[in-house]
Amino acid sequence: MGMSGGGKSGSRATMSEINVTPLVDVMLVLLIMFMVTAPLMQQGIEVDLPKTSSTGVEVNEEPFIIVIHGDRRITAAKNPIKVDDLRIKLKAIFKNRKSKQVYIQADRKVDYGLVAEVMAEIRSAGILNIGLITLPKEP
């Protein structure tokens, strides 16, 4: 601490600087905590979705999602299902549901023929509202 140059021998100059070291320490700890916990918060099925520029859709009811995996496996409500059984199971499921809408979450590696076949089975079950789940395009 220095003395002021005004000739008063007993007064001290006030420090007007802020010590940012504790702030930086706290921010680094928070950053490390978020970096460790963020991957643990991700849940879901690993499907490489295509990217589009369309906006999202508002839904009021829990959506029914059919997932077509990259190895051509098909799951509906996290249960494996064959394409041949899809029509019968969808008729039974949607018999008592208000919303007659199905979303397809297909891996980008899956050929279009399998997606079209699944869509045809969904339509033959009497469900005409079919949505495709994609990721937004990066700017």
Grade residue 45 by pLDDT with cuts at 50, 70 and 90. low
Percent residues over pLDDT 70 in the chain:
76
- What distance in Å separates the CA atoms of residue 138 and residue 89, rounded to the nearest whole number? 37
Supply the mean pLDDT for the chain.
80
- At 118 the pLDDT is 92
- What distance in Å separates the CA atoms of residue 75 and residue 81, rounded to the nearest whole number? 5
- At 8 the pLDDT is 55
Q: Confirm whether 12 is domain-assigned.
A: no
Taking alpha carbons only, the member of 52, 60, 61 closest to residue 106 is 52
Percent residues over pLDDT 90 in the chain:
21
Q: Confirm whether 130 is domain-assigned.
A: yes
Range of the structural domain that residue 117 is part of: 51-136
Grade residue 29 by pLDDT with cuts at 50, 70 and 90. very high
Domain containing residue 59: CATH number: 3.30.420.270
Q: Confirm whether 8 is domain-assigned.
A: no
Q: Confirm whether 119 is domain-assigned.
A: yes
Q: Confirm whether 34 is domain-assigned.
A: no
> Count of domains in the chain?
1
Query: pLDDT: is 112 or 9 the higher one?
Result: 112
Grade residue 25 by pLDDT with cuts at 50, 70 and 90. very high
**Model pTM score:** 0.55
pLDDT at 21 over 80: yes
Q: Confirm whether 26 is domain-assigned.
A: no
Amino acid of residue 58: E
Q: Confirm whether 25 is domain-assigned.
A: no
Q: Confirm whether 86 is domain-assigned.
A: yes
Q: How far, in Å, are 22, 54, 87 from residue 123 at the CA level?
A: 62, 23, 8
